[in-house]
Structure formats: C-alpha cells, structure tokens
Amino acid sequence: MAKSKMSDYRSLYKLTKRLGTVVGVWPYESPSILYLLVPYIPMTIHLIISLLIFSWVREKFPNIGLVSKGLSISTSFVTTILKIASMKINHKELTELHRHLHPYFGKLLKDSKLSNIVLKDVDMFKLVSWSLTICVATCLGSYILLPLSFVIKASVHHIEVAKYPLIYPCNYPWKITSNEIVYQLHFVFETCSGLAMFFVSTSVDILFPFYVFQMIAQFREISYDITHIKNDDENNDNYNKVIEKCVVQYERLMRCRDILEKIWGPIILFSVTTNAIVLCTVLFQISKMKSVTIVQGSLLVAYVGLKLGQTFIYAWSGSCLIEESEVYRDAVYAANWYGKKRLMTSIVMLLTQRPLSLTACNFSVVSVKIFITFLNTAVSYFFLLQTLDDKD
C-alpha cells in the first residue's frame, strides 16, 4: 500500500513539474534568463488570438448564437493570459511557497511513521489532476480535429473548397486564400495556440491542488504529534517542543495560505465567473443544434467537462484544506492535556485559531459551495439567453 501511494505521488509530482516547465511556471530556484522569457510566448500568442476572435464577435454581433460561441472561446484565452500574468508577477512569492512546502514534504516522506499519514488521499489528488489534464487534451484535440477532418475529407474526395475552415473563429485583417501554404501557416499558428492553452491551463490548475496537498500533509504531521503526547511528558520539556512546533508550523501554513490567495485568488474569481458564462453559452449552442456528429459531440462533452473540472478542482481543494484544518483543531482538543495546567493554557491558545481557509480576492471562500454557486449561475444565464433569443 505504501509503495502504491508513493507511486501515485511521484506520478502527480512528475505531471505537475513537466507541464509547468514547458510554459515556464514551475518555480525553479535559479532559473535561466531563457526560462524566465518562456511564459511570454504563450501570452503573446493568446493575446493575438483573443483580439482576432473579438474582432470576429464584433462582426457577428447581431447573432446571439455566433456571439456566444466566439465569447466562450475568447474568454478561455483571456483566462490563460491572466494565469501567466499572475504567475509571473508573483514569481518571488511562488518560489517562496515552493521552498516552504516541497522540501519539507520530502522530509515527511522519509519518516516511516508519517509517510502513510501524509500520503493519505494522494490517489484522489492524482485522479482529479489527471482527469482535468485528459479533459483539456480531449477538448483541444476535438477543436483541431473538426477542421482537419473536413480538409482530409475534401482532399480524399477531390472536392474543390473556396475557403478551408480554421480551428477558431478569427477575423484576420487579411484575406486567407485557398492556397495550401497560406492556409497551413494559419492552421499551424492556431494549433500552436491550442497547445499553449493546454500546457498553461493544466499546469496552473493542477499546481494549486498540488500545493494544497502538501499543506494538508503538514497539518497531518502536527495533528499526529499533538495527539501522541505521553502522560509523563509534563515532567520534561517535550510537550513544550510539540506546542512550539504546532505554533510555528501553523504560522508557516498561514503564510502559504496568503501566497496561494495572492497568486490564485484573481484566477479563481475570474475563472468561476467566466466559466459560468461559458457553460451557459455552450448549453445554449447545444439547445440550438439540430444534429450532432461524433466529433462535435465529443467536443461539447469535453468542453463542458473542462469548465466543470476547472471550477471543481479549485473548489474541492479549498474544501479539503478547510476540512484538514478542522481535523487538526479536533486533534488539539483530543490531546492528552486534561489535568495538566501548564499544557491547558497552550491548548486553549491553539483552539482559538480559526480553521485555515482560502478566499478568492476576499470575495468568497474557496470551497464546494462556490462550485454550487457556479452551477446555479450558469443555469440562470442559460435561461436568460433563451429568453432573449425567443424575443428576437
């Protein structure tokens, strides 16, 4: 069992590190100048694509269906720009967060008594991270396959096409002819933007629960230490060391919480808001479709799953941290402190600390409740779009 959990953690760590390294968001201690410049490449590509899609949306503005389609795609690119910007602006804090959590987690894994405790539920974090990664890959892959399948079908059956379809609804400032080289260059550019979105979205989204999991591990360590204070510890200074360790470690976790809020707070708030709008527009598009092909169906299912998964992974991680913080408070209360006057004072001070929770820009607590609010908002927007469309 221990080997299986260790394997799950290594798989999660490798996935997070590799995805983050590709787009330059993994917090290396001494990164090269070239590595520091890597995030600006996807940021520039996504900025160009966003402007081109917004231009297309402005052109199609009277049509609610086309406008909703364009906005749902463009908001995804804007979100990735925000993710990269937040990671770059707070690079120093991100490195500090990594320095507080990752090396210490490695020490906990070397302790035979604590390794099984800190690796509890690692399979769930691995499952959620891999599921989101696969969902993003399926969604972007379906976007690329739609026009690609059309081109292949036209070439096989020798069908003359006046204008080949591209991946995204973009309004380029120049005319795209049926020339193969011109079309291929535009197709490659949009494919690169999709690949960049894949790496940015997955790396930033799964890095959040990765650090939350390491914070939870520290909570489990101090919970274990304080519940294993022996009866004869009042005659020595051992229990004082345990209390001091709990206070110092809780203070460190509060600092980690603050860094997480600073980096991911704007990302979570923007993602929850825009994902609700995007989800309702996708549902609106589905309600207007008379027939759906296999590729279109897989694209829609993957896209809906992507938006649900992106919101759920943040909400679920926040709830896990709150729950583990409350478990720690219960462990403090259940410690062997009754009848020990010197220990009772310290225990009371520990119990006055509030459970650790994450907030998105001081607007809302990041928990499963925010996910439920997201679903309610999406359904409300969907009925609003239907009402507006019926009036038109």
Mean pLDDT of 168-193: 83
- pTM for the model stands at 0.88
Q: Which helix or strand (DSSP H or E) is residue 359 part of?
A: strand 359-360
pLDDT at residue 262 greater than cutoff 90: yes
Say how many CA atoms lie within 13 Å of 233 toward its Cβ.
Answer: 22
Q: What is the mean pLDDT of residues 207-214?
A: 94
- Amino acid identity at 23: V
Is the pLDDT at 205 greater than 80, yes or no?
yes
Model confidence over 139-169: pLDDT tens digits?
A: 888 888 888 877 777 777 666 666 778 888 8
pLDDT in tens, 79-135: 999 999 999 999 999 999 999 999 999 888 887 788 888 888 888 999 999 999 988
Task: Return mean pLDDT, the chain.
Answer: 83
Confidence of residue 346 (pLDDT cuts 50, 70, 90): low
Q: Which two tokens stand for residue 302?
A: 């993957």
**247, two tokens:** 């206070």
**Is a pLDDT exceeding 80 seen at residue 259?**
yes
Question: What are 133-145's pLDDT values in tens digits?
Answer: 988 888 888 888 8
Say whether pLDDT at 210 is over 80: yes
pLDDT, mean of residues 294-299:
69
Q: Give residue-wise pLDDT tens across range 35-51.
A: 989 999 999 999 999 99
Nearest to 48 by CA among 146, 137, 168, 175: 168
Give me the pLDDT at residue 130, please: 92
User: Is pLDDT of 10 > 80?
Assistant: yes
The continuous run of DSSP H or E covering 286 comes out as helix 238-288
- Give the pLDDT score at 233: 47
57 vs 63: CA distance, rounded Å: 9
| Pairwise CA distance, residues 262 & 365, whole Å | 14
pLDDT at 240 over 80: no
Per-residue confidence (pLDDT) for residue 200, from 0 to 100: 92
Any residues with CB less than 8 A from the CB of 81 and at least 6 apart, and which? Answer: 43, 46, 47, 50
Which residues does residue 365 pair with via DSSP β-bridges, in sequence order?
359
**Lowest-confidence segment of 146-160, 215-229, 286-300 by average pLDDT:** 286-300
Max mean pLDDT among 18-22, 162-166, 284-288, 379-383 falls in 18-22
Q: What is the pLDDT of residues 350-391, one digit of tens each?
A: 667 777 888 888 888 888 888 888 888 777 777 776 776 666
227 pLDDT exceeds 50?
A: yes
Cross-strand partners of 364: 360
Predicted local confidence at residue 344, as pLDDT: 65
Instruction: Tell me how far apart the alpha carbons of residues 360 and 262 are, in angstroms, rounded to a whole number.
Output: 9
pLDDT at residue number 182 = 82
Percent of the chain with pLDDT over 90: 27
pLDDT for residue 179 is more than 70:
no
Q: How confident is the model at residue 279 (pLDDT cuts 50, 70, 90)?
A: confident
